[in-house]
Chain A
């Protein structure tokens, strides 16, 4: 597809429409403003997570703007919908960079982030990734910085824990998205290395809600526990598991982190992600949510990191370019966040990982591992 040409032609078309459309609204706002981009799955099967992410960014942005912006500069975020699809991601990236001239972008979704990483390198745009976990992101681009631990780290922690405490016979349940498959492969490698065997290996289509046949097959294999690598609504999975007799204990990473009322015992890793109670209350009041979801927290916290880096550049009087944002991040290196200090030795943040045990009675943290 000759998308490139279309974009060019489109840009030409826009050039004639834009001034008219922006005449009234933007003239005043243009004065002191820094525009950032966010490419999130706002529709499609991952939309639920995409909206949590968007709320997180918007929350942090509104807050910093209400306090007068960063050294007088207001922050404006341009949201682009990727539907979690890499091709739409590439188009979104190009629009953000060519049309809106952003130098910093929040990303989401592993395949989108992987697809746009070469563009980030080519166009020297700073990309902050607070959510996508596929292990390939560690080295995808020098301009890509991950504020969350990658899958490999979490999987090796839970695989080791399970091999020691739960047994040597594992089943794997995953969804056919790229994260699900990566998690399956990484778990298999880590668990076999820890001396275990895999007795069943079953996938569900991403977005499918009829999970019974797959769950039945898992239970019939009688493993010591099952590694769950699917996000299709934890509520739906839970309901259907509750109708399967003798479903085994489940383990997982942050990718599979049910919140309450799960019918079987679950052990899962979770990157420690906190916000102050005050922030959470403010967030819930603003977006009318019962709690501040994991991804809202992560994006709000990542936004703080982005703002801190911009602040640093403005303080030094350096222009806010992608190249400078990247350099500045490693110059600042350590950031104070509600999760404690986060520091960047490489492109991926070092974070504290906890192992949670979730039973119908409630949630306990059984282990804390810094890696």
Chain B
């Protein structure tokens, strides 16, 4: 029983990080219509930026802020430099997807060249190994921070999307690009904001997973894939749906591990997913926003 509870707790932590990845991916995907695989690259980038700045003596919270800003800037670069020209030329989603795959390769390998392909740890933060005891359960400080920061960021994104003028403009653009153009909502400016916000926020799980576990240049694609599954199962376009399903997936992956040998757990998750998607292609929650173009 104690094992199960601890597994659920770890699953929640992992699920929160996953949830923020799923939500930001969903936000970008729904608004721009781009299957933004390069999101995985930015996730990794955020962690490395924070590692670098903490390493040169910047206080950790400041380093986090720099990493978030830096990731957002790279997001803008990708949107302006690659996606926008592709969109303006009305290239097919496949072309955009392949360009995105190319960007992931560029980011990951640049990181490997600059920081070495080795596993890196936040050695300079001694508190990362301490943990909080809740009865018989353990939660490490980085895990605790992951939960809190992810929840705050997710809530922030939700409020932004529904309550602010810019957020509403983004949703208008998402639902109909050509109409938005006519209505002078300047969709291309909106895309830049949306990608920047998504990129900045996805740096957060990148950083805290890095503090808690370790940084590796090549490991983020698997995380993104699970997040994308959460997005689809949650209903494309539903931000809370993406987050909630990611949370469930995180717990499920851990629990599955308690029942079956670890080597089958990933395949099992995907098998459940495929069956699910065949039976209910619209996801758990109804679609609120249609895919752009």
List A residues at the B interface (Cβ < 8 Å): 43-45, 47-48, 51, 176, 201-205, 207-214, 216-217, 220, 232-233, 235-236, 239-240, 242-245
Q: Report how far A232 CA is from B222 CA in the complex, Å.
A: 16
Name the A residues within 8 Å of B262 (CB-CB).
Answer: 202-204, 213-214, 217
Partner of A48, one of B3, B109, B117, B263: B117
Q: What chain B residues lie within 8 Å of A208 (beta carbons)?
A: 219, 222
Q: B7 at the A/B interface (Cβ < 8 Å)?
A: yes
| In the complex, B138 has a CB within 8 A of chain A | yes
Q: Is the CB of A217 within 8 A of B258?
A: yes
User: CB distance B119 to A209 under 8 Å?
Assistant: yes
- B213 lies within 8 A of A240 (CB): yes
Identity of the chain B residue whose Cβ is nearest the Cβ of A201 in the assembled complex: B261
B78 within 8 A of A: no
Residues in B neighbouring A51, C-beta threshold 8 A: 116-118
**Docked-complex contact A213 and B266, CB < 8 angstroms:** no
Whether A207 lies near B117 (C-beta < 8 A) is no
Judging by beta carbons under 8 Å apart, are B218 and A216 in contact? no
With known contacts A203-B262, A203-B263, A44–B218 Cβ distance under 8 A: yes
The answer to whether B214 has its CB under 8 Å from any CB of chain A is: yes
Q: A260 to chain B: closest CB distance in Å?
A: 13
- Nearest Cβ distance between residue A177 and chain B, in whole angstroms? 11
Cβ B117 vs Cβ A43 within 8 A: yes
Q: Please, what's the 1-or-0 string for B130-167, where 1 marks a CB less than 8 Å from any CB in chain A?
A: 01000000101000000000000000000000000000
**Cα–Cα, bound, A48→B119 (Å):** 8
Q: Can you pick out 18 interface pairs between chain A and chain B where the beta carbons lie within 8 Å of each other?
A: A43-B117, A45-B218, A48-B117, A202-B261, A202-B262, A205-B263, A209-B213, A210-B14, A211-B213, A213-B10, A213-B11, A214-B257, A214-B262, A235-B119, A235-B214, A239-B214, A240-B213, A245-B138
**Distance to closest chain A CB from B211 (angstroms):** 11
Q: Does B6 contact A (CB under 8 A)?
A: yes
Q: Which 9 A-B pairs have the closest CB atoms?
A: A47-B117, A233-B119, A209-B213, A220-B3, A203-B263, A236-B214, A48-B118, A213-B257, A203-B262
CB distance from B3 to the nearest CB of A (A): 4
Q: Does chain A have a CB within 8 A of B175?
A: no
Q: Which of A213, A236, A242 has the most CB of B within 10 A?
A: A213
Number of A-B contacts (CB under 8 A): 87
Known: A202-B261, A210-B14, A214-B257. A235 touches B3 (CB 8 A): no
B216 interface residue, CB < 8 Å from A?
A: yes
| B254 CB contacts on chain A under 8 angstroms | 213
Q: B6's closest neighbor in chain A, by CB?
A: A216
A47 to B113 alpha-carbon distance, docked (Å) = 11
B288 at the interface (CB under 8 A from A): no
Minimal beta-carbon separation of B150 from chain A (angstroms): 15
By a CB distance below 8 angstroms, the chain A residues around B213 are 209-211, 236, 239-240
Q: In the complex the two chains form, what is the Cα distance from A269 to B248 in whole Å?
A: 42
Q: How many positions in chain B have a CB within 8 Å of any CB in the partner chain?
A: 32
A209 lies within 8 A of B216 (CB):
yes
- In this assembly, does B183 line the interface, its C-beta being within 8 Å of a C-beta of chain A? no
When C-beta atoms are compared, the residue in chain B nearest to A52 turns out to be: B118
Q: A210-B213, A233-B119, A243-B131 are in contact. Are A203 and B218 (CB under 8 A)?
A: no
With an 8 A cutoff between CB atoms, is B176 at the interface? no
Known contacts A209-B219, A217-B262, A243-B129; can you find 13 more A-B pairs with CB under 8 A? Answer: A45-B216, A47-B112, A51-B117, A203-B263, A205-B263, A208-B219, A211-B213, A213-B11, A213-B262, A217-B3, A239-B213, A240-B213, A243-B140
A235–B128 CA distance with the chains assembled, in angstroms = 13
Q: Which residues of B, 228-269, contact A by the 8 Å Cβ criterion?
A: 254, 257-258, 261-263, 266
Q: How far is the CA of A203 from the CA of B258 in the complex (A)?
A: 12
Which residue of chain B lies nearest to A173 when distances are taken between CB atoms in the complex? B262
Which listed residue (B11, B214, B257) contacts A217, Cβ 8 A? B257
- Chain A residues with Cβ below 8 Å from B131 are 243
Distance from A41 Cβ to chain B, minimum over Cβ atoms (Å): 10
Q: What A residues does B2 contact at CB under 8 A? A: 220
A245 CA / B7 CA spacing, docked (Å): 14
Q: How far is the CA of A271 from the CA of B6 in the complex (A)?
A: 38
Do A236 and B117 have beta carbons less than 8 Å apart?
no
Shortest CB–CB separation between residue B126 and chain A, in angstroms?
12
How many whole Å from A171's CB to the nearest CB in chain B?
13
Q: Which B1-41 residues have a C-beta within 8 angstroms of A?
A: 2-3, 6-7, 10-11, 14
A103 vs chain B, min Cβ distance (A): 30
CA distance A244 to B213 in the complex (A): 14
A233 touches B214 (CB 8 A): yes
